[in-house]
Amino acid sequence: MTPLLYGPPPETLLRLLGHAEFAAPERIVGGLDGQQAVRRPGAAVHSVAEVVAHLLSNMRFNLDLIEGRPASGLPDWPTVRAEDWDDLVSDFLATLERLMTLAQAPEVLARVIFPATDTEPGWTAGYKLAVNVAKHNAYHLGQIVVLRQLLGAWTDTAQ
């Protein structure tokens, strides 16, 4: 049998999830109105709102697995209307906060999500949070900053 993959310690995982070195998630998704959020600048494939909805879908999927529920059947790239933006931001931040709370619980982080097989290592909840949530969020939060720059809705001041 192959080994079990563990994530970083709680303090590190918490920083990876919510205490960004460059800009906090709250700042990255905050301060836009619904019309700005759903606009696709230039030739962009997605709007800020679509990227946030995608992040929320991924976080809920992983939260369900970590908390032992069947995974959410949410679409990977949901359609978002301007009038849904404020609720989407609230849901995103609340789900992120829930994951950050779990990231501080060593007994949760050690929970085996995917058992090891003869050919593949097992995954703990801590590893899943690091690889499938923190890393995924970092990529797309950076994408949101670029989209906001293209919209003229981002400044580099006040992190």
State the SS3 of 98-150.
HHHHHCCCHHHHCCEEECCCCCCCEEEHHHHHHHHHHHHHHHHHHHHHHHHHH
Using pLDDT thresholds of 50, 70 and 90, give the confidence band for residue 71: confident
In a domain, 127, yes or no: yes
In a domain, 12, yes or no: yes
What is the model's pLDDT at position 20? Answer: 64
pLDDT, average across residues 112-130: 95
What is the model's pLDDT at position 74? Answer: 81
In a domain, 109, yes or no: yes
Q: Name the 3-class secondary structure at 69.
A: coil
CATH number at residue 121: 1.20.120.450
What is the model's pLDDT at position 159? Answer: 47
In a domain, 126, yes or no: yes
pTM of the model: 0.93
Q: What is the pLDDT of residues 90-114, one digit of tens each?
A: 999 999 999 999 999 999 999 999 9
In a domain, 62, yes or no: yes
State how far the Cα of 7 lies from the Cα of 21, in Å rounded to an integer. Answer: 19
In a domain, 18, yes or no: yes
Structural domains counted in the chain: 1
In a domain, 157, yes or no: no
In a domain, 82, yes or no: yes
Residue 87 pLDDT greater than 90, yes or no: yes
Q: What is the pLDDT of residues 12-66, one digit of tens each?
A: 999 999 876 778 999 999 999 999 999 999 999 999 999 999 999 999 999 999 9
Among all chains, which residue has been given the structure tokens 């303090």? Answer: 11
Domain membership of residue 91 as a residue range: 4-151
Residue 72 pLDDT greater than 80, yes or no: no
Residue 156 pLDDT greater than 90, yes or no: no
